[in-house]
Amino acid sequence: MAQSMPHATPPRRPLPRHVAGSLVGTSVGLLAFFFAALLPSLLYGGVAGIRVANELFSLPSAHPVSVHALMFTGILVSVTAVAALFAVLGVVVGASVGALSTLGADR
* pLDDT tens-digit series, residues 20-38: 888 888 999 999 999 999 9
Residue 91 falls within a domain, yes or no?
A: yes
Q: Identify the band that residue 75 occupies on the pLDDT scale cut at 50, 70 and 90.
A: very high
Cα 66 from Cα 78, distance rounded (Å): 18
The answer to whether residue 20 sits within a structural domain is no
d(CA 61, CA 63): 7
- pTM for this prediction: 0.74
Buried b (16+ CB within 10 A) or exposed e, 83-96: beebbebbbebbbe
> If residue 79 lies in a helix (H) or strand (E), which one and from where to where?
helix 65-105
Domain range for 98: 25-102
- Number of structural domains (the chain) is 1
* The predicted structure's pLDDT at residue 101: 78
| High-pLDDT (> 90) share of the chain, % | 37
Residue 5 counted as domain residue: no
